[in-house]
Amino acid sequence: MTSTFVAEAGDVCWLRADVALAAAARHQGAQLARGVHLSAEHTARLELCVTEMATNLLKHAHDGALALRVVRARGRAAVECLSLDSGPGIEDVPRALRDGTSATGTLGIGLGAIGRLADESGVHSLRGRGTVLYARFWAGAADGAAPDPVATGGLTRPISGEQVCGDSWAVRAVTGHGCGALSLMMCDGLGHGPLAARAADRAREAFRDSRHMDPAAVLGDVHRGLRGTRGAAVAIALVDLGAERVRLSGAGNISALVATESTRSGLLSLPGIVGVQLPRPRTFEAAFPPGSALVMHSDGLSDRWKPADFPGLFAQDPSLVAAQILNQAAVRRDDAGIVVAVRGQRP
């Protein structure tokens, strides 16, 4: 079996909406742009984009925030900007994306400008509940390859008052025995703060280094890698496209499910603390048909949400899926983390 790193949680800069938001977002965006060697033109577009996002939050939204980070795929890096708020939502998204549309008497160029400035962008809005918007700026040219049949993404947010997050996630591609698959990990380091973050980092390293494909075997590798830490709740999933199945093995309070627009099939994790006391692993399975999404998240998100509460979401970019579920289901009294794998419809 061979394993290829796909994506993992990295540092996320969260900025709450206040009068200094635009300036802070431009400064942070420029720093990230330098780190991935974004061109001067792309950096200028990025700074204008986050200014528009910040302005939209201050003018239109309740309880808004921006999240800026670096994402990587296929050997390329991008600066990704996420805007999240708690309402009032956008009644007509296509109309709002057209220039000249405004709810506050301004020129109404914000959302339309973001779509033109970014290499990739998208928006999902729930009336009365909140809107999530993303924009991505890539360094380097695209490779021209066809989109992956399963796209992945995730997001973490620390508990209020902390600078580091004890939740983490990672994804790697695995091949062997004549089939290709994706392996995903969701980890919630016990407690919060630096010690929880250290456990989450160790879990991510052990997951990345594992040479196994079977979720229970990978969980065992992570368990050994977490010895000497405070431990964590961890779930490992294997997405097998050939079999159109998901297999999962986990210990601790990690929620996992396969969702479509109207259904959800849960995947269980057993009681235990990975790195401290791991029960004999068991593996649970669910179908993973075209148009479905695997969602794994920590208990920093309520597990009471339903796919039907998110119309149109599971056809979106996985970063947008992760951000909107976190936006709606996360609690302030804990770290929050989520990773998703979205399978497109058959052509």
Q: Is the pLDDT of residue 234 over 60?
A: yes
| Beta carbons of 248 and 218 less than 8 angstroms apart | no
Q: Which amino acid is at 256?
A: A
> Cα(80)–Cα(164) distance, rounded to whole angstroms?
19
Amino acid identity, position 307: P
What is the rounded distance in angstroms from the CA atom of residue 338 to the CA atom of residue 327? 11
Span(s) in the chain for CATH 3.30.565.10 = 10-139
- Pull the structure tokens for residue 255: 């929620």
User: Minimum mean pLDDT among 98-112, 120-134, 181-195, 320-334: which range?
Assistant: 98-112
Report the mean per-residue pLDDT for the chain.
Answer: 91
Q: What is the mean pLDDT of residues 164-186?
A: 87
Contacts with 252 (C-beta within 8 Å, 6 or more apart), sequence order: 188, 232, 233, 234, 235, 269, 271, 272, 273, 274
Structure tokens at 168: 């983490």
SS3 249: strand
Residue 45 backbone class (left: φ over 0; alpha: ψ -120 to 50; beta: rest) = alpha
E-strand ranges in the chain read 2-8, 13-16, 65-73, 76-84, 120-126, 130-139, 150-157, 167-176, 179-189, 232-240, 245-251, 255-259, 264-267, 284-287, 293-297, 336-343
Q: Rounded distance, CA 90 to CA 60, Å?
A: 10
Matching CATH number, 10-139, of 3.40.630.30, 3.30.70.1400, 3.30.565.10, 3.40.50.1220: 3.30.565.10
Which range, of 25-39, 140-154, 180-194, 235-249, averages the lowest pLDDT?
140-154
Percent of the chain exceeding pLDDT 70 equals: 93
- Helix (H) / strand (E) element for 319: namely helix 318-329
Which CATH number is correct for 150-343, 1.20.210.10, 3.60.40.10, 3.40.50.2000, 3.90.950.10?
3.60.40.10
Residue 243 tokens, joined? 């079999």
pTM of the model: 0.93
Q: What angle do CA 79, 80, 81 make, to 5 degrees?
A: 125
Cα distances (Å, whole numbers) of residue 146 to 142, 151, 263: 11, 12, 29
Domain with CATH 3.60.40.10 in the chain: 150-343
Q: What is the DSSP letter of 288?
A: -
Which residues are CB-neighbours of 182 under 8 A, at least 6 positions away?
A: 6, 150, 152, 171, 172, 173, 174, 238, 239, 341
In the structure, what pLDDT confidence band is assigned to residue 65 with cuts at 50, 70 and 90? very high
Chain segment 296-346, per-residue pLDDT in tens = 999 999 999 999 999 999 999 999 999 999 999 998 889 999 999 999 876
- Could you tell me the strand order of the sheet in which 232-240 lies? 2-8, 167-176, 179-189, 232-240, 245-251, 284-287
Q: What does the pLDDT average to over 286-292?
A: 94
Who contacts 271 (Cβ-Cβ below 8 Å, separation ≥6)? 251, 252, 279
Lowest average pLDDT, out of 109-118, 128-137, 271-280, goes to 109-118
Q: Is 277 exposed, middle or buried (0-12, 13-18, 19+ CB in 10 A)?
A: exposed
